[in-house]
Chain A
Amino acid sequence: MSARNLTDLTIAEARILLDSREISAAELTEAHLARIDALEPLLNCHISLMSDVARRQAALADRAIADGTAGPLTGIPASIKDVLCTVDADTTAGSRMLAGFRSPYDATVVRKLREAGAVFVGKGNTDEFAMGSSTENSAYFPTHNPWNTDCVPGGSSGGPAAAVAAGEAVFGLGSDTGGSIRQPAGFCGIVGLKPTYGRVSRFGLIAFASSLDQVGPFTRTVEDAALVLEAIAGNDRNDSTSSPMPVDDFRTALRTDLEGVRIGVAQEYAVDGMEPGVETAVTEAISQLTRLGAEIVPVSLPHTRYALATYYITAPAEASANLARFDGVRYGLRIDEPTIREMYERTRGDGFGSEVKRRIMLGTYALSSGYYDAYYVKAQKVRTLIKQDFDAAFESVDVIAAPTSPTTAFRIGDRMDDPYQMYLADVFTIPANMAGIPGISLPCGFSNNLPVGLQFLGQAFDESTMLGVAHAYERSQPWSSMHPTLNER
């Protein structure tokens, strides 16, 4: 098997080769490290590489395979978004504020992957503190889309998304506050899953907006997403918002036909400014769902158009509180000044980039005396309406199908001068975060030679049905087996 082929494998395919001893975890890891060496100059998917850690983990994985104690993820290379704390690599959150920060503990999801025998190849690039839709807000460098290196990979989890698309890792972990897993998965032609709020522990995830953040996987197939979700999901005593709901065996829910399944399509997801190629691909995908036996049911989500405004009050408000901890006292950057007050202001002024400052300002304003009711409370009331829309729709359908984004990946630099245009990239992903429901994006074709994402939204704690529908669609189409052509340097 050639080195190129080893970096095209899914988790399930790699598992068979590893367990049958056709390849070793060391070989699989070296193939990915070589691919990283060759492609990083072109793509910049990772803020820090973990080659030495990866080699040690691969050796442990080979021992576990020899001992017969290997699990589904043993020996599988993964890229971890740099907002998840790791004891053996720096965690920067894409910010100058946390340059050189070494966490004294692992995030719970990182610990779980470590215990499952996964191999960490690097810390994936991200918009600073996960605030952005293109990974251009990283304080370090932008990441390039493997399908067209002039384009963004989406964001904020653009690093791990591009890494999985380019064969630098078999799977990745991201975080999704308003679409930061699903949107880059769509832009990079891979699978990205945001679990139900509460499904996965956020302990050790650097907090952005606590009522919205969820951790989830990037993979090449829906089956792999089910595998990774099963490994990271579950209650955690270190995160009191993690749910005690039992974790399903998500793989048993995977199906190949859609007989008896009702899939909702909402007219509100057809918006002005939609790229014609995206509309065509998603319309074709919905026809394919019918051919697989699904019944397409029109549903109405009338408050969809208010989700973006609701999000841009809620998320910055929560962020302004969460980011108060970066004050130059306990960790991170400090710029010494004659008074403590000046030290705070200089440290935060120099340590945060412009998008983070914009959101801290917006959030502080929305929470400030005299504006709290008009902005924050108002947004939480509209949030109730958005959630009620979904509750009503799910009375008549099992899942909802929609585009992941109104466009394919845009050019690097194109939206950096207009924050609101950038925010519009998440218009179809934000409602799921507002309602706390799970969502998955998977490839459904191409527009202008760039991947188009199809999104399924499920009911809270029913990732199983959503994964089953996504799997049936994926298996009937060629998209998941297509890889970008990259000229290694």
Chain B
Amino acid sequence: MALTLADVDHVATLARLGLTTAERERMRDQLSTILEHIGELDQLDTEAIPPTASVIQMTNVWREDAVRPSLSANEVFKNAPRVSDDCFVVRTPLGGEGDEA
């Protein structure tokens, strides 16, 4: 299946992934090739086959709702790019430009 540049742009938007012009074109070509190989799965009739949800037999895992020690705020924030008053700082996410998609 051949992708167009518009397809690439749509997927990049969904993934919040900034691509350069050169990357967009390379992505279109390489993903089209990979999707062509993946297309060989269409040879298989899987109508009656259930999809795999887990490869090992597992039952629901329950745990006691008990308080256990957790990381300190200091440890939680130590790798953050910007912090203020024990909060992660970002630009206004709502009401600004570019939050429509």
Residues of A bordering B, CB below 8 Å: 101-102, 104-105, 196-198, 211, 237, 240-241, 243, 303, 305-306, 308-310, 312-313, 320, 324, 327-334, 337-346, 348-350, 352, 354, 357-358, 360-362, 364-365, 368, 375, 377-385, 387, 419-420, 434-436, 460
10 contacts between A and B (CB under 8 A): A309-B40, A334-B81, A340-B93, A341-B98, A345-B16, A358-B27, A358-B34, A380-B52, A385-B46, A420-B37
A344 B55 Cβ-Cβ under 8 A: no
Question: How distant is the Cα of A368 from the Cα of B31 in the complex, in angstroms?
Answer: 15
A340 B99 Cβ-Cβ under 8 A: yes
Contacts of A460 on B, CB cut-off 8 Å? 55-56
With A358-B30, A382-B46 in contact, do A243 and B96 touch (Cβ < 8 Å)?
no
A331 B79 Cβ-Cβ under 8 A: yes
Residues of B bordering A, CB below 8 Å: 3, 7-8, 10-12, 14-20, 23, 26-27, 30-31, 33-35, 37-42, 44, 46, 49-56, 58, 61, 63, 71, 75-76, 78-82, 88, 90-93, 96-99, 101
Contacts of B61 on A, CB cut-off 8 Å? 240
Q: A343-B91, A377-B51, A419-B34 are known contacts; what are 17 more A-B pairs with Cβ within 8 Å? A: A101-B79, A102-B78, A198-B58, A211-B55, A243-B56, A303-B44, A306-B44, A309-B41, A312-B34, A320-B15, A330-B80, A357-B17, A360-B17, A382-B44, A384-B49, A384-B52, A387-B52
Question: How distant is the Cα of A76 from the Cα of B50 in the complex, in angstroms?
Answer: 46
A385 B49 Cβ-Cβ under 8 A: yes
Q: Which 4 A-B pairs have the closest CB atoms?
A: A349-B18, A436-B55, A380-B51, A345-B18
A327 B16 Cβ-Cβ under 8 A: yes
Q: Which single residue of chain B is at the shortest CB-CB distance from A433?
A: B55
Q: Which single residue of chain B is at the shortest CB-CB distance from A240?
A: B61
A258 shortest CB reach to chain B, Å: 28
B79 A330 Cβ-Cβ under 8 A: yes
Q: Which single residue of chain B is at the shortest CB-CB distance from A435?
A: B55
B51 A384 Cβ-Cβ under 8 A: yes
A383 B99 Cβ-Cβ under 8 A: no
With A196-B56, A327-B16 in contact, do A364 and B98 touch (Cβ < 8 Å)?
no
B55 A197 Cβ-Cβ under 8 A: yes
Q: Which single residue of chain A is at the shortest CB-CB distance from B52?
A: A383
- Partner of A334 from the list B26, B50, B51, B82 (CB cut-off 8 Å) is B82
With A309-B41, A361-B8, A377-B51 in contact, do A341 and B16 touch (Cβ < 8 Å)?
yes
Residue among B3, B8, B31, B90 with the most chain A CB within 10 A?
B90
Contacts of B40 on A, CB cut-off 8 Å? 305-306, 309
Question: How distant is the Cα of A369 from the Cα of B98 in the complex, in angstroms?
Answer: 21
Q: Which single residue of chain B is at the shortest CB-CB distance from A303?
A: B44
A364 B41 Cβ-Cβ under 8 A: no
A348 B52 Cβ-Cβ under 8 A: no
Question: How distant is the Cα of A362 from the Cα of B38 in the complex, in angstroms?
Answer: 11
Contacts of B38 on A, CB cut-off 8 Å? 309, 312-313, 375
B59 shortest CB reach to chain A, Å: 10
A345 B37 Cβ-Cβ under 8 A: no
- Partner of A339 from the list B44, B49, B80, B91 (CB cut-off 8 Å) is B91
- Partner of B31 from the list A211, A365, A380, A381 (CB cut-off 8 Å) is A365
B41 A378 Cβ-Cβ under 8 A: yes
Residue among B11, B39, B50, B58 with the most chain A CB within 10 A?
B11
Contacts of A310 on B, CB cut-off 8 Å? 41
Residue among A312, A379, A381 with the most chain B CB within 10 A?
A381
B37 shortest CB reach to chain A, Å: 6
B41 A237 Cβ-Cβ under 8 A: no
With A357-B27, A378-B41, A385-B46 in contact, do A420 and B33 touch (Cβ < 8 Å)?
yes
Contacts of A337 on B, CB cut-off 8 Å? 91
Contacts of A312 on B, CB cut-off 8 Å? 34, 37-38
A268 shortest CB reach to chain B, Å: 15
Question: How distant is the Cα of A463 from the Cα of B98 in the complex, in angstroms?
Answer: 52
Q: Which single residue of chain A is at the shortest CB-CB distance from B28?
A: A361
A309 B11 Cβ-Cβ under 8 A: no
- Partner of B71 from the list A104, A241, A349, A420 (CB cut-off 8 Å) is A104
Question: How distant is the Cα of A368 from the Cα of B53 in the complex, in angstroms?
Answer: 19
Contacts of B14 on A, CB cut-off 8 Å? 364, 368
Question: How distant is the Cα of A273 from the Cα of B30 in the complex, in angstroms?
Answer: 22
Question: How distant is the Cα of A240 from the Cα of B4 in the complex, in angstroms?
Answer: 41
A57 shortest CB reach to chain B, Å: 22
B86 shortest CB reach to chain A, Å: 13
Contacts of A331 on B, CB cut-off 8 Å? 79-81
B15 A364 Cβ-Cβ under 8 A: yes
Q: Which single residue of chain B is at the shortest CB-CB distance from A380?
A: B51
Q: Which single residue of chain B is at the shortest CB-CB distance from A98?
A: B79
Q: Which single residue of chain A is at the shortest CB-CB distance from B10?
A: A368
Q: Which single residue of chain B is at the shortest CB-CB distance from A360?
A: B15
A357 B50 Cβ-Cβ under 8 A: no
- Partner of A436 from the list B17, B20, B56, B101 (CB cut-off 8 Å) is B56
Question: How distant is the Cα of A419 from the Cα of B29 in the complex, in angstroms?
Answer: 11
A342 B98 Cβ-Cβ under 8 A: yes
Contacts of A346 on B, CB cut-off 8 Å? 18
B16 A348 Cβ-Cβ under 8 A: yes
A237 B63 Cβ-Cβ under 8 A: yes
- Partner of B51 from the list A333, A360, A383, A420 (CB cut-off 8 Å) is A383
Question: How distant is the Cα of A351 from the Cα of B18 in the complex, in angstroms?
Answer: 10
Q: Which single residue of chain B is at the shortest CB-CB distance from A331?
A: B79
